[in-house]
Structure 1
Amino acid sequence: MKNALITGATKGMGRAIAIALAQEGINIAVNSRKAEDLAAFKTELLQINPAIKVFTAVADGSNKDELLRFAKNAEQELGTITILVNNLGMYAYSKILDDEKNLFQKMINTNLMPSYELYRFFGKTMVSVGEGHIFNICSVAALNPVVEAGIYSVTKAALYSLNNVMRLEMQQHGVKVTAVIPGSTLTDSWKGQAVDKDTMVMPEDIASAIVNIYKMSKGANVDELIIKPAGGQL
């Protein structure tokens, strides 16, 4: 049985991805800052598939020490992690000149640092066993910057670049790396705004795509996947 670790998995895309992987019989490791959210989600995942193991940890993914403790404990509880979904992220609607004092570092610690640190933590083991798949949840803002979300665009572009370096480092070792690049997706980033879900990408669309990419033959990899609203970006 395979083991997956997903950051930021109690809401939005991460939640949908965890559910989709659980349905495939894959053990799941997830973290959150809220113990009650983790307990409820663990119960839900085990109801979906009682045959899997679910490891949860109260950990702030934007805190390096807590993140790596979560990774280490997940590995000890489940075994070798061969599916890594770097999903943790935050969105801030702000032009760079208007950014709050600590927003830059907060964005780096949330949108970029976890993917870098988890890659370093799990990457050598993936190389040693000759298998693995890393999914980095980027954004169309990485390709087409949104000036009204300046530092968000910058950090997602950095994640996209990191993804490409990961892929080149890993491709000779049998480890796959995929950049998932969603457009306007119905997550908490849109909370409080009047939106029509029929004009947006749904989290389940991202989850379905990831499962299908993961299930491809050993010799095939999707370098990057762009999923945008059929009617264009919102």
Structure 2
Amino acid sequence: MATALITGSARGIGAAIALRLAKDGYDIALNDISEKSFEDNDIVEKIKATGVECEVFICDVSNFEQVEKTVKDVKERFGSIDVLVNNAGITRDGLLARMSEEQYDTVIAVNQKSVFNMCRFAGAVMMRQKSGRIINLASVAGLYGNPGQMNYSATKAAIIGMTKTVAKELGSRGITCNAVAPGFIKTPMTDKLTDEQKAAMLNQIAMKRFGEVDDIAGVVSFLASKDAAYVTGQVIEISGGIMM
């Protein structure tokens, strides 16, 4: 049985991706930063109900040593790491003139360094296997920028560059690396927006609706599949036609 490791997968987009890959037949290694993330949360039960194995691995993905241990633990538990989805991410929004160093550094560490850490160690496992799929969560903010998100936009733009570099470095070992760039997706974060903010966002979207987490999971499923065996170094925008 093949195994998928998804970071930041207790809820939201990460959980949707984990459940979709479970339905595709992958054993699932869930990850989040604390046990509390999985409290009052039925994602483990939903995944096991599909008939695959599932285990939670608590890890701060911005921490190099913790990631090294977690990847080792996942490999020992499941025997392989066939798909890595770098989904973990946070926001600490603020306009440039008022953004603190802490706001900037924290987002860089969680969103960007986590991708390096995971690619570094899970990539080594895949190199020994001579196969694997790495899928990174970028954002339209990394393609077009977004006011109030200099830190977040910087990380997502960096992830695009990292994706292309990993694709070039690991392609000869049978490993693909691609990114998806979601637009405005219905999550607890967008639920907090005012009606005016939602209307302004919808006005930019050709399809005139917010995306669903399953819209992201479906594209990740494709990139993890054999149908995407010759797709690497690509960034797929999943935005309903924003900024066209």
Distance, in Å, in 1 between the alignment partners of 2:124 and 2:68 is 15
The Cα shift of 1:37 comes to 4.2
Asked whether 1:227 is paired with 2:229, we answer: no
Q: Which structure 1 residue ranges, 4+ long, deviate > 6 Å from structure 2?
A: none
Task: Tell me whether 1:207 sits opposite 2:217 in the alignment.
Answer: yes
Q: Which amino acid aligns with 2:193?
A: Q
The farther-off stretch of 8-17 and 28-37 is: 28-37
List per-residue Cα deviations over 1:122-152 (Å, max 9, x = no partner): 2122122221000000011111111321111
The residue type equivalent to 1:78 in the other structure is F
**One-letter code of the match for 1:193?**
L
What TM-score do you get using the length of structure 2 for normalisation? 0.86
Structure 2: which amino acid aligns with 1:154? A
Pairing of 1:122-161 with structure 2 (within 5 A): 122-161=122-161
Provide, for residues 75-125 of structure 1, a one-character-per-residue CA deviation record: whole Å limited to 9, x for no partner: 111111010000011123212231123112211111111110111102122
Partner of 2:27: 27
Q: What SS does structure 2 have at the residue aligned with 1:44? A: helix
8 Å CA contact 1:137–1:179 kept in 2: the answer is yes
Aligned to 1:164: 164
User: How many residue pairs end up in the alignment?
Assistant: 230
Give the TM-score normalised by structure 1. 0.90
Tell me how far apart the structure 2 counterparts of residues 144 and 118 of structure 1 sit (CA, whole Å).
Answer: 26
CA RMSD of aligned residues (A): 2.0
Alpha-carbon spacing, 1:169–1:217, altered in 2? closer, same or farther (3 Å): same
State the SS of the aligned residue for 1:199.
coil
Instruction: Tell me, yes or no, if the aligned pair for 1:55 and 1:78 is still in contact at 8 Å.
Output: no
In the other structure, the counterpart of 1:185 is 185
Q: What is the Cα deviation at residue 218 of structure 1?
A: 6.5
Aligned mates of 2:229, 2:18 — CA distance in 1: 25
Conserved 8 A contact 2:135-2:223: no
Q: 2:44 aligns with which of 42, 45, 49?
A: 42
Partner letter of residue 199 of structure 1? R
Q: Is the 8 A contact 1:112 1:156 kept in 2?
A: yes
1:34-79 deviation line (CA, Å, top 9, x unaligned): 42543732222112x12x1112123233333333332221111111
Unmatched 5+ stretches in structure 2: 203-207
Task: Report the Cα distance in structure 2 between the residues aligned to 1:55 and 1:64, rounded to whole angstroms.
Answer: 21
